[in-house]
Structure 1
Amino acid sequence: MSIEDENESDRKLLIAVDFGTTFSGVAWAQTRRPDVQTIIIQWPETANGGLEGVSSDKVPTELRYEGGQCHWGFQVDDFGSRHQWFKLDLDPSQPRGVSDLSRQFPDQHALPPSYTASAEKLCTDYLTALRTHTEQVLKHKLPQSVLRSTPIEYIITVPAVWSDTAQAKTRACAENAGMGKALQIISEPEAAAIYALHAMDPHSIQVGDTFVLCDAGGGTVDLISYTVSALKPILQVEEAAMGSGRICGSTFLNRIFQHFLVEKLGLNEEWDDEVVEDAMKRFELVTKKVFRGELNEEYVIPVPGLADDPSQGVRRGKFRMTGTEVSKIFEPVVAEVVALVRGQIAATNKKVNAVLMVGGFGQNAYLRETIRASIDPSIEVMQPPNGWTAVVRGALMKGLSKLAPTTERVKVQSRSARKHYGTEIMSKYDSAKHAKSSSFWDEYDGESKVYDMSWFITKGSPVTEDKAFVKHYHKVWKVAEGPRQSVAQDILMYEDPHDTGAPVYKDGGVGRDGGGVKHLARLTADLSCIPTGELERRRGKDGRDYYVVYYDIEMTYYSACTKYALVYKGVRYDSVSAEYV
């Protein structure tokens, strides 16, 4: 059945949201016309300014509450306090939440999330504004009959390393913002890679080629690597190394420049906010983009109203910066990005063919040339078209491929597990593996047993998407104790920060605090409705009767989450989503 011939009930309007740290983007398409994919580029500039105002591929991820109103995006001017970077506070567990740059160069106008609202409220309010604007735009782009009859489904992107708690918070914020329950969640670097690889010349790609994708944005820089595993019928890739990232985006260039400007000209009697605003706009829109490392060049920055001062380089309301001064602004930020790229290349343990630069900062010429000069000359450094919107474009492509499989062009065949995942079970005692002190006598089997870990998957192992794999387990208890109301199994994880391997025991041999093994989810099957006579009974080695319940744990891995289900007699119980593997 072609997409054009699909039933009305199968038609959907898909909206992808790149919920970014500093800027966010939206793209949409209809499943009946998946080839027509549109980026929203018009954004309101004033509270009552209608749908249009500023033309941009993205809108700032900022909020300000004034006079009972919530201002967002371009409605928030550069003066006064505002909420920004609040997305990162959904996952304070991430070590990249604070960097040397963010400590050295904080935004003087940024409010902490807890100052007037929680991170969840800020994210919900922002996503609500984004959704409302998007749906208002669609009313002007599509006939009312289409909007009334076509269900809307949203996709939202999250960092690949988002914890299960942060992902659940993101989903809750999106649902509370009116984006519905049928919400797809896709990891940001994977979405960017899908678009970037699709945008490349297919004739230049061979099976075995490895690419590092660097998504350099305003706040964060995230990297991930893929190796091409197949070219036909579609391009298929496998993760070549676990992703990495840090808060070292292009926003810090602006903050360092402002710090430099205040130190250089701040004592001038005419210095005020207007001077700062004009200077910052010139640096953001021109200087930052044209600088290529030429130390002998001069760069003109408007500083209206300042008196001429040749000693400071100010003349006729203009300040002249040298290339050397601009390079010093770039150096601390670019150095961190280069270190991330070099580390990701080394982590692949393969010959890397190219580094693909996406994101707003990823389009910067000086960053590109510095990376090119800092890595093996045989590795190309490329900037795919539409790099700033690669994440939202890739997210839309991925979402469309799920609803209309014939549109799929790039598929991530497997990923590398970020952690160890498993459950605690009762095993036969093995003197070569277990400590004697941890053993006990099992009356049912008539042998020594221990409680140890059964790992579904270990860190670094490849995992495939949409293909469930199953582990078999059973529980035993005495008939004299009566039938149980339920069986439960805890899903556990271990981060293994030093790559020493998965521990044998839940406590890692360290103590009762869990030794780093953490609880992720609990799966439960309700047995109360099963007649006692249908429960399997067996005679134990001790001559007593026991109930034995055999069940499976079924695991399915997706772009940004893992789904677990406990399966008993063909029935799935308690399917839950946990964090990205």
Structure 2
Amino acid sequence: MEDIRVVVAIDFGTTNSGFAFAHKERPKERETYNSWPDDSGKFKTPTALQYDSKYKNVIAWGVNALVEFQDAVDDDESNQLSRPVELFKLHLLDLEEDKPWLPPGLNYEQAIKDYLTEMRKLVEEKLSSRWCNVKFPSQVKIILTIPAEWPPHTTRIMRECAYKAGLLDKLSSNNLEFTTEPEAAALHCLSVVKEHDLKPEDCGGGTVDITIRKLLENNELGEITERVGYPCGSTFVDKEFLRFIGEKVGINALSDLKKNHYKQIQNLVQEFFCRRIKFGFKGRQSEWRPIRLDLLHFCPSLENYVIGDRKTEMEKDGWIIKMDFTPVKEMFDPAVNKILELISDQLKASKEKCSAIFLVGGFAESTYLLDKVKENFRFQVDKICVPTLPITAVVRGGLSYGLNINTVKTRVLKWTFGIEVARKWVPGKDEVKRKSPGGLIYTFESLVKRGSEVEVDKPISKVYYPFQANQKAVTFKIFYTPEEGGKFCDDQGMKYINTLRIDIPDIKHGLDRPIKFSLTFGKLECKASAYNEKTKKKYNDIDFYVEE
């Protein structure tokens, strides 16, 4: 029997991560961890790993894997250290552009496992100092928040990584739950609805992962649009800054500098761009004062890689780049405009009026982003604001979810789910190549379509019958697709999930053996089940562990 004493929410972020926890006996006493090694006072630590020179063993993680750690050794020695591994979470997405760098021999699943291992050590240490009688991990419920745009198979990958990291005592443990980042953010925003005079039937939205939620009675949430997400957070603003620098000195020169002196690139981005420009940029030209960037101060090795006319030009300017308003604004605009597009699409998809938009997450601190959202949607939405400590919204919301999973009442599906079914092949109607040796054709039949709002933990069912009177077994092959429907299980985009096989030995009933097949969309890891309507026998469930 489950004996959960403590709930821990882990926000495993692209650039920064954090965790929060609470005892189930005192759910109001919630703590967001802020005592990171060498970075105390922050609610998150960088999602970064420093390996040894062969990328086999982790020697530092979090802030210690970045510039501050490398500053502890002299420059010649630090250049021999392995390049920090960052942004590896993005490998779970099908990005159009090249995925973030990973060293040869290190796959992203290993990096995720290694990072969660370091996180687990800290979580375990913290919980043992708070409650010496809590057994880790058997008495601890872990909530992992995941982006809205992740396809279903990523929960399987994250579960395996969490197990290998020691967060679970067995792979199939019920001690791990998933919730999406916009769902967690929406749950956190429940704590501020009274401040904004929101009542049931009002709704709020998320950030780069976006959904529209309906506030129900008793502080419960329903989902009324399909959640969406896109990799367009503040990391991509940094990327635009480096693209701008690359245009000045040459892309190859910047690439060589990154390869051989990664510490200097980090210094340039973190110490100059983030601290002097990104964090304070308001997007108001009248308030902008040009900033001089001394490239060799932050990147002293850069001059060894710049060649030709670009080197002549940079030497003429003393390796100084003047950061004017327009190019800086252009660094923000691709990410900001994509966020505006995502919000607009969500508002159009909603059949109900949206009463409030809450911006949460690290990028929510951007004055420019907030101003642009207000400028674009002030006539559609009455209240647009940033709650207190937006950077902790996801992890605190994840904790709220773990303490009261029943808070979420409905979800809108991002995929169409169904099974493979057989019928007689019809000449002239069906393709010859689809005809099986037994004269059958196998097609895809959807049980629930993308965009459907489903009640949490309420089965969606349909009754099926055996195809042959002497049939002693039935298999339900489950598939999903991003399309609203599908004709065959080998259609483009169609993905196999799992197979539920059941025995039906009572052949004396012939074809009259109704079997109710159900899909339950409660948690992000869902279940398929079958029930014999005649014998009242319930067959074993299978979890929705989606295969690649």
The answer to whether the aligner puts 1:204 opposite 2:197 as a matched pair is: yes
Instruction: Give the distance between the partners of 2:400 and 2:323, measured in 1 at CA.
Output: 43
CA offset digits 1:350-378 (Å, max 9, x no partner): 33222210110022111110121123434
Deviation at 1:11, TM superposition (A): 4.9
Deviation at residue 572 of structure 1 after TM alignment: 2.8
Alignment of 1:71-220 (within 5 A): 71-78=60-67, 81-90=83-92, 92=93, 94=94, 97-98=95-96, 111-112=101-102, 115-140=104-129, 142-146=130-134, 151-180=139-168, 181=173, 182-201=175-194, 204-214=197-207
Query: 2:387 matched to which residue of 1?
Result: 384
Which of 27, 34, 38 lines up with 1:34 in the alignment? 27
Preserved CA contact (<8 Å) 2:458 2:522: no
Within-5 A mapping of 1:507-526: 513-514=490-491, 516-526=493-503
- CA shift, 1:332, in A, is 2.7
- What does residue range 297-312 of structure 1 map to in structure 2 within 5 Å? 297-298=288-289, 300=291, 303=294
Q: Which residue among 230, 241, 252 is the counterpart of 2:236?
A: 252
Amino acid at match of 2:102: P
Q: Residue deviations 1:204-245, cap 9 Å, x none?
A: 11343343322xxxxxx21111233x3x3x123332221222
1:350 paired to 2:327: no
The equivalent of 1:360 in structure 2 is 362
8 Å contact 1:11–1:30 — kept in the other structure? no
Cross-structure match for 1:60: 46
Residue 437 of structure 1 is aligned with which of 429, 433, 443?
429
Give CA deviations for 1:525-580 in whole Å, capped at 9, x if unaligned.
245xxxx6xx2514xxxxxxx36543221221124232111234333324222569
Q: Partner letter of residue 458 of structure 2? A: K
Closer, same or farther: CA 223–435 of 1 in aligned 2, 3 Å: farther
Give the one of 390, 399, 404 matched to 1:401: 404
Residue identity matched to 2:481: Y
Contact preservation (8 Å) 1:210, 1:240: no
CA distance in 2, matches of 1:148, 1:160: 29
Query: How many angstroms apart in 1 are the aligned matches of 2:269 and 2:367?
Result: 21
Matched residue SS, 1:186: strand
> What code does the residue aligned with 1:572 have?
Y
8 A contact 1:82–1:111 mirrored in 2: no
Q: TM-score, normalised by structure 2?
A: 0.78
Is 2:137–2:167's contact at 8 Å kept on the other side of the alignment?
no
Q: CA deviation at 1:320?
A: 6.5
What's the offset of the Cα at 1:186? 1.4
Which amino acid letter does the alignment assign opposite residue 50 of structure 2?
Answer: R
In 2 relative to 1, CA 435–360 (structure 1 residues): closer, same or farther, beyond 3 Å?
Answer: farther
Q: Percent identity?
A: 26
CA-CA distance at 1:259 after TM superposition: 4.3
1:525–1:293 Cα change, 3 Å: same
Q: Secondary structure at the match of 2:126?
A: helix
Contact 2:66 2:266 in 1 (8 A): no
Contact 1:279–1:302 (Cα < 8 Å) also in 2: no
| CA–CA distance in structure 2, aligned partners of residues 517 and 225 of structure 1 | 27
1:420 aligns with 2:416: yes
Q: How does the TM-score come out when normalised to structure 1?
A: 0.74
Q: Which has the higher helix share?
A: 2
Residue 408 of structure 2 aligns to a residue whose secondary structure is: strand
Shift of 1:136: 1.9
Contact 2:8/2:141 (<8 A) preserved: yes
Secondary structure of 1:490 counterpart: strand
Change (3 A) 1:39 1:286: farther
Following the alignment from structure 2 to structure 1, what is the Cα–Cα distance between the partners of residues 203 and 373? 17
**Aligned counterparts of 2:249 and 2:467: Cα–Cα separation in 1:** 77
- Counterpart among 250, 267, 279 of residue 277 in structure 1: 267
1:242–1:275 CA distance, 2 compared to 1 (3 A) = closer
Q: How far, CA to CA, are the matches of 1:424 and 1:317 in structure 2?
A: 64
Secondary structure class of the residue paired with 2:372: helix
Greater displacement, 557-566 / 363-372: 557-566
Q: Of the candidates 493, 498, 502, which is equivalent to residue 485 of structure 2?
A: 502
Residue 385 (structure 1) shift: 1.5
How large is the Cα RMSD of the aligned pairs?
A: 3.8
Question: What letter matches 2:214 in structure 1?
Answer: T
* Segment of structure 1 superposing worse, 452-461 or 148-157: 148-157
How far apart are the structure 2 equivalents of 1:149 and 1:492?
A: 33
Give 1:281 shift.
1.6
2:516 and 2:51 map into 1 onto residues whose CA distance is: 51
CA deviation after TM superposition for structure 1 residue 84, in Å: 1.8
Q: Are 1:224 and 2:211 counterparts?
A: yes
Instruction: Specify every segment of 5 or more residues in structure 1 that has no aligned partner in the other structure, as ranges.
Output: 1-7, 46-52, 215-220, 406-410, 441-447, 508-512, 539-545
The separation in 1 between residues aligned to 2:529 and 2:185, in whole angstroms, is: 30
What SS class does the counterpart of residue 28 from structure 2 fall into?
strand
Q: How many Å separate the matches in 2 of 1:435 and 1:384?
A: 63
How many residues align? The count is: 491
Q: Quick one: which amino acid aligns to residue 506 of structure 1? A: F
Structure 2 letter corresponding to 1:360:
G
Structure 2 Cα separation of the partners of residues 133 and 463 of structure 1: 37
Residues 46-65 of structure 1 show CA distances to partners (whole Å, capped at 9, x for unaligned) of xxxxxxx4431111111221
Shift of 1:328: 3.0
CA distances 1:113-169 after superposition (whole Å, capped 9, x unpaired): 6x23111111111111111122123333x1434458982221112223322322111
SS at match of 1:27: strand
Secondary structure of 1:111's aligned partner: coil
Counterpart-to-counterpart distance in 2, 1:149 and 1:264: 52
Distance 1:139 1:10 in 2: 17
2:257 corresponds in structure 1 to none
Match of 1:554 among 503, 513, 518: 518
Tell me the amino acid that sits aligned with residue 341 of structure 1: I
Q: Deviations over 1:55-82 (max 9, x none)?
A: 3111111122115630221121247622
Query: Aligned in 2, Cα 1:536/1:306: closer, same or farther, shift over 3 Å?
Result: closer
- In the alignment, the residues of structure 1 paired with residue 231 and residue 177 of structure 2 have an alpha-carbon distance, to the nearest angstrom, of 26
Contact 2:238 2:269 in 1 (8 A): no
Shift of 1:175: 0.8
- Of 20, 24, 37, which aligns to 2:17? 24
Residue 460 of structure 1 aligns to which amino acid in structure 2?
G
Structure showing greater Rg:
1
List gaps (5 residues or longer) in structure 2: 71-81, 254-260, 299-312, 433-438
Deviation at 1:35, TM superposition (A): 0.6
Cα distance change of structure 1 residues 450 and 279 upon mapping to structure 2, 3 Å threshold: closer
Aligned partner of 2:468: which letter?
W
